[in-house]
Structure 1
Amino acid sequence: MSPTVPTLPYTVNCSLLFTELPLLQRPAAARAAGFDAVEFWWPFERAVPADSEVDAFTAAIAEAGVRLTGLNLFAGRLPGPDRGVLSHPARVQEVRDNLEVVVAIAERTGTTAFNALYGLRLEGVDAAEQDETALLNTVTAAKALAQVGGTVLIEPISGAEDYPLRTAADGAAFAARAHAAGAPNVALLADLYHLAVNGDDVAAVVAERAAEIGHIQIADAPGRGEPGTGDLPLLDLLATAQAGGYSGYVGLEYRPSGSSADSFAWLRA
């Protein structure tokens, strides 16, 4: 048992939880379950949705009485084969166009955390060119989002061998490159599930990097279910992160083993 129970606030990832409901009903469902904060992957099919789609999304957040604490930038087909477009040379304009929409949503909602998924390695495209594209896009995004107090988050993920950022060290190193290029508002997103599946020493990551982590997300491993369905000592890890200086939200980004509402029993316990 952890010597200190974490008191960090939770935010519900409504792209994995409450998926039994239409997307625009999920913020209200999270509120009914007792939460006052939600986060989403990019909630539209296109990088630049219609104004009416953006209006409906921001209205759903406001009407539910919750705060939008995090939003992915456009990531291509997700879930699906893209896993982000940050490093794709042929999609630079798409990233730029998406940023205009993201800034507008941030101005309406007060959101300040933005996950920019790197993207897979592309056949026939030099890896160094992809890395330079990712850096250029990240610096551009960071400068655009600085006007709304935003931070660009860089996330190592699992489940895709061609995704080049797999460990916390990978994500932190790329964030450091962005800092050196003039973008101080870039930080590591530590999804404890992805790090564990990729073989990272998660306890060491949260102990050594807590103060530099921009956002934490959790799911148990194996399985990506709610805490208690796998082997990760998630509450201990969160207590360590908090003791080390992390004070932000914890994103509940798991696939519930039953209904979404029932998957919060671990919190009540």
Structure 2
Amino acid sequence: MLRLSANLGFLWTELPLADAIRRAKAAGFDAVECHWPYESDPLAVRAALEETGLPMLGINTRRGRTGIDNGLAAVPGREAEARAAIDEAFAYGARIGAGRVHVMAGNAFGIDGARETFEANLAYACDIAALNAMGVLIEPLNHRDAPGYFLVDLALAADIAGRLARPELSLMFDCYHLQITGGDLLERFRAHRRIVGHVQIAAVPSRAEPDGGEVAYERLLPMLEAAGYEGYVGAEYRPATTTEAGLGWMARFGR
């Protein structure tokens, strides 16, 4: 059965994180995930997770400077900041019981040394993940939404994961971003299934509720399951109006 995760970086953002977790449970989600929860009391967040029984699948490393950075891990010369962000994410994640940390690469597209910097920081993150029984995610983003982002290509992400060959490291297969950067979602998923750790969805091109746009998720997601995916599907979309008003899409998946 398809298991759905509410991305609380976009859903119920008007609520404190602990209350958003409770609202996700009431709406019928099976798990939650978020972006940058660091301003929320980890004890309150963990209490809400324990109360609802929802797993926290993952969180992101901080972006860096507001309005300038989009992660730090691939940016040469900022290794100390990147590793501080990695340390912070795993420390917070361990306190709330999160499963993975998405290590954000940053705006380093075309910069000499970016790949080497990213790989070194990912190896560092994997070491920290192993100590905490957690995982590391990397995610290709599209340049329309994230101009200049280092990791835009799925093949590059897979090559980096293969080169590092760390069991803690896997790929975020975000259907929204990957549809924009090449489409052919089912075949690209099949080609990279072995290293896919998480799947996310949103309408393309609006990034609103996933029952609109050019990707028919009601057909695609069962195909991903048939291809061997057994994880959660993260609803990482921006509601067209309010979160509650847009939840009708879940009925297509039996909720």
TM-score by length of 2: 0.88
Which residue does the alignment assign to 1:76?
64
SS at match of 1:216: strand
Deviates most, 94-103 or 25-34: 94-103
SS at match of 2:49: helix
What letter is aligned with 1:143?
A: D
SS at match of 1:128: coil
Which residue does the alignment assign to 1:145?
129
2:167 and 2:178 map into 1 onto residues whose CA distance is 24
Q: Is the aligned partner of 1:128 residue 2:122?
A: no
Q: Deviations over 1:174-219 (max 9, x none)?
A: 212222xxx3321111100001112232122123223321111110
2:191 and 2:220 map into 1 onto residues whose CA distance is 12
SS at match of 2:92: helix
Q: Is the aligned partner of 1:188 residue 2:171?
A: yes
Q: Is the 8 A contact 1:210 1:242 kept in 2?
A: no
1:250 Cα offset (Å): 0.8
2:99 and 2:112 map into 1 onto residues whose CA distance is 30
- Structure 1 spans left out of the alignment, 5+ residues: 1-6, 46-51
Alignment CA distance shift 1:42-1:77 (3 Å): farther
1:97 Cα offset (Å): 2.7
What letter is aligned with 1:147?
A: L
Q: Is the 8 A contact 2:3 2:30 kept in 1?
A: no
- Structure 2 spans left out of the alignment, 5+ residues: none
Residue 164 of structure 2: which of 163, 178, 183 is its match? 178
Which residue does the alignment assign to 1:61?
49
Q: Is the 8 A contact 2:172 2:198 kept in 1?
A: yes
Q: Percent identity between the aligned chains? A: 36
TM-score by length of 1: 0.83
SS at match of 1:143: helix
Q: Is the 8 A contact 1:168 1:200 kept in 2?
A: no
Q: Is the aligned partner of 1:218 residue 2:205?
A: no
SS at match of 1:161: coil
1:16 Cα offset (Å): 0.6
Q: Deviations over 1:84-135 (max 9, x none)?
A: 111123432233333333333343333222211111027xxx8232221111
What letter is aligned with 2:201?
A: I
1:201 and 1:267 map into 2 onto residues whose CA distance is 24
Task: Give the count of matched residue pairs.
Answer: 250
Where do 4+ consecutive residues of structure 1 move more than 4 Å? none
1:60 Cα offset (Å): 4.1
Q: Is the aligned partner of 1:168 residue 2:126?
A: no
SS at match of 2:78: helix
What letter is aligned with 1:203?
A: L
Residue 26 of structure 1: which of 13, 20, 24 is its match? 20
What letter is aligned with 2:19?
A: Q
Which residue does the alignment assign to 2:84?
97
1:106 and 1:161 map into 2 onto residues whose CA distance is 28
1:262 and 1:223 map into 2 onto residues whose CA distance is 17
2:182 and 2:195 map into 1 onto residues whose CA distance is 20
Q: Is the 8 A contact 1:72 1:115 kept in 2?
A: yes
